[in-house]
Chain A
Amino acid sequence: MAAFDECIFELIAQLGTLKERNAAQVQELYAPGAPADLVEGLGVRIGAGANPGIILRGDTSVELGNPEVGSCSALLWTDDLSLVVDGRITVIGPDVPESVGQSLPLAQVVLVAGSGLDHGDHEALQQSAHVSDQVEGYMAKSTSEFVWARVSHEAVAQGIDFAILGRALLYLVKTSVAKVSAAEVVFVTASREDVDAVATLVRQARVIGARIVTDNWRERGFDLDCDFDCSSCSDEEICDDIRDVLVATHAKSRSG
């Protein structure tokens, strides 16, 4: 069982609840599996430098994932191909074209499977979903813990929606890590409450991910973490004595 499988099970259960709650606003779309087909005829360019400039506030049609209205994102991977439906894009809540002028909350989760995936692929997978300037008309802000993005007027006019954004993400992930054989994307925009429900899972996943990153660096010869503390130190008793002496000296110095 891979590190994130429990999180994926919980997410699947959580999504069931969210779909029920927002039954009128659920889309389940299916994209082709091959990377080249994913970006065929999208209407917006995908890939490095596709969005070369920045999207100014005045040029923004829709804002996604402003943390003040709710935001979270994660990429969860597994070596169990049965947990991921390749090409599926699930949208729970309003889509981009119907939200012009609005700021939508956003939970974005990318699920990835590959029979050979292991801890050594973790960082490359996480980086693969970092959109930066790779989707025309879409600017992900420089944030470290969530996705907060702007969609331009031009991109909306060209028809950008979560189907396209989902295909872009699938393309980026599949072309970045060769071992990925299936991937799907979930977007939740229904409400802050729904995004926060996913955010709880995202926080759990982040703790697991941090452990994997620490282990990976250790394998490369770097210790990210300090693995000792007072309770595990053989000099704890001496240190405590010194502390007592310092406290007494300090008290004496003040009273004098």
Chain B
Amino acid sequence: MPSLTVQEKERSLRRYKMERDHFASLLEAVLPIPGEEFELYARQLEILLDSKAVIVDCVENDKPFIGGYFCNAPELFSAMDLPWFMVMETPFLASSEPYVLQEIDNTAQMGLGTDLCTAIRLPIYYISEGLMPVPTAALGLLYPCDGAPMLHQVMQHNKNWKNVPLYSCDPPYTSDERAVNYFADELKRMAEFLEKHTGATLEIDRLRTACEESNAAYRWWQEYNELRRNVPSPHGWSPGGSMAFAMAQCFKVGDPRSTAWFEQLYRCAENRVKAGKGASDAPGWKERIRLFWFDILPMGWLPQFMPWLEEEWGAVLVMDMFGNYPYTLIDTTNEDTIFHDLAKRNLLDAPMIRQARGTADNFSNDIRRTVKDYKIDCVIWPGHMGHKDGSAASGIMRQTCRELGVPFLQIGLDLFDPRYTSVDEVKDKVSEFFSAMGLG
């Protein structure tokens, strides 16, 4: 266990508690609002707040917990009853909070290159400044990008973190059976590492239960996504894609509360489809453009942009990279099948990992399938400054869209910092694109 002073512990939780309080106030605001969709927001916020409360308790009372990532097979953590938080969670959860802009500026003052992905710069800053909970053990992420290992180097050299044991699964380059089996062994070693350093134990029956529960949630997710193929799509940028991803791979993975949330998500969408309702209930509103946003949502400026798309252009985000469902369920027959399928899910299926690790044809294949199945009118590759791997494949994406006869737009922006390309500039580019392509 890392040995921190009381002051260090308090400091490590300061930001974490700020975020927790931010979400608690959001929950208070959402709870009184009637409507099925708002219930979904509330349930997810409750689950998020529970997760945060558990981490705070672990830090304050010296209980074991881990820092990790979504593609580290979190079903394993659930089976081991190991609390965890995502080391990069702030950019994805709270980057629209105004204080984050100051923190991004602070990363530049630290000397971090402003061309390094903001989602990586922020946790580097938090760790360096002692502003992140220090876990009992940490898991690294060697894929899909080269930036994340920089974060691991900071972990290994920071005064408070240098005694935190770190394990990173080695991702093979290829995507065949040999690669999946290799990665399954890596996950087994990761589980042994966690057992050794946290004292938690992995029992296969508990892992099977977690995976079966996870399968139940994924079944609902798959069903839900089919509903988004309807014209009009029952949901747009929210609720849906990124919320579903967070629920399936970050919060309460392999937990009945997660399954119940997905079932409710499905019911909400099904009710809207049956009623012929689209993504917005605004009077006179009509779905005019079905959009595939092929990346993470712009978490740093979501409220200024996504509602505008729907209101101004009737442009509905029917599918995005994190809402995409390329998963197969985990065969829980025995330990080998479980680890094999966990390896497949976390090496080949998980978003961003799926596209940016290994050969680039997943970019092309995902576009082809999504455009056809979801009746997509245009594809936007936002060109996030951190996604250099994807930018290298933008020619492939553009060519694929040309062959499909679907307009393609690459913007160039920072999904977490609205100052890189201003929201107004993004709106201008998107408006010009819609107009020029005759979509509006």
Which among B60-68, B184-192, B309-317, B325-333 touches the partner chain?
A: B325-333
Closest chain A residue to B349, Cβ basis: A144
CB distance from B87 to the nearest CB of A (A): 19
Q: Which of B222, B361, B365 has the most CB of A within 10 A?
A: B361
A179 interface residue per 8 A CB criterion:
no
Which among A31-39, A151-159, A222-230 touches the partner chain?
A: A222-230
The interface bits of chain B over 316-343 (1 if a CB of A lies within 8 angstroms of the residue's CB, else 0) are 0000000001101100000000000000
B230–A132 touching, CB < 8 Å: no
B304 interface residue per 8 A CB criterion:
no
Q: Which of B369, B372, B375 has the most CB of A within 10 A?
A: B372
A142–B361 touching, CB < 8 Å: no
Closest chain A residue to B266, Cβ basis: A57
Docked complex Cα distance between A144 and B359 (Å): 16
A214–B229 touching, CB < 8 Å: no
Find chain A residues with CB under 8 A from B373 CB.
132, 140, 142
B273 interface residue per 8 A CB criterion:
yes
B368 interface residue per 8 A CB criterion:
yes
Instruction: Decide: A226 near B163, CB < 8 A? Known: A54-B226, A68-B329.
Output: no
Find chain A residues with CB under 8 A from B368 CB.
127, 130
The interface bits of chain B over 221-254 (1 if a CB of A lies within 8 angstroms of the residue's CB, else 0) are 0110111011100000000000000000000000
Instruction: Decide: A67 near B359, CB < 8 A? Known: A54-B230, A132-B373, A141-B222.
Output: no
B391 interface residue per 8 A CB criterion:
no
The interface bits of chain A over 132-157 (1 if a CB of B lies within 8 angstroms of the residue's CB, else 0) are 11000001111111000000000000
Docked complex Cα distance between A68 and B395 (Å): 37
Question: Which residue in B157, B325, B372 is a CB contact (below 8 Å) of A132?
Answer: B372
Within 8 A of B (CB), among A185-212: 203, 207, 210
A26 interface residue per 8 A CB criterion:
no
Instruction: Decide: A52 near B231, CB < 8 A? Known: A210-B361, A222-B396, A222-B399.
Output: yes
B223–A57 touching, CB < 8 Å: yes
Closest chain B residue to A214, Cβ basis: B359
B370–A142 touching, CB < 8 Å: yes
The interface bits of chain B over 208-226 (1 if a CB of A lies within 8 angstroms of the residue's CB, else 0) are 0000000000000011011
Find chain A residues with CB under 8 A from B157 CB.
253
Docked complex Cα distance between A225 and B175 (Å): 12
A9 interface residue per 8 A CB criterion:
no
- Which label, helix, strand, loop or mixed, suits the secondary structure of the B interface? helix
Within 8 A of A (CB), among B250-303: 270, 273-274
A224–B162 touching, CB < 8 Å: no
Instruction: Decide: A224 near B361, CB < 8 A? Known: A56-B270, A145-B328, A253-B157.
Output: yes
Instruction: Decide: A203 near B177, CB < 8 A? Known: A67-B328, A141-B226, A142-B370.
Output: yes
B366–A54 touching, CB < 8 Å: no
Docked complex Cα distance between A249 and B227 (Å): 54
B173 interface residue per 8 A CB criterion:
yes
B396–A224 touching, CB < 8 Å: yes
CB distance from B166 to the nearest CB of A (A): 11
B360 interface residue per 8 A CB criterion:
yes
Find chain A residues with CB under 8 A from B229 CB.
54, 142
CB distance from A144 to the nearest CB of B (A): 5
A210–B325 touching, CB < 8 Å: no
Find chain A residues with CB under 8 A from B361 CB.
210, 213-214, 217, 224
B326–A53 touching, CB < 8 Å: no
A142–B359 touching, CB < 8 Å: no
Within 8 A of A (CB), among B163-185: 163, 173, 176-177
Question: Which residue in B222, B273, B329 is a CB contact (below 8 Å) of A56?
Answer: B273
For the A-B complex with A54-B230, A222-B395 known, give 14 more contacts whose Cβ atoms are closer than 8 Å. A54-B226, A54-B229, A130-B368, A142-B226, A142-B229, A142-B325, A142-B373, A144-B369, A210-B359, A210-B361, A214-B359, A224-B361, A224-B396, A250-B156
A-B contact pairs, 5 of them (CB 8 A): A130-B368, A130-B369, A141-B222, A144-B326, A254-B162
- Closest 4 pairs (CB-CB, A-B): A142-B373, A224-B359, A132-B372, A224-B360
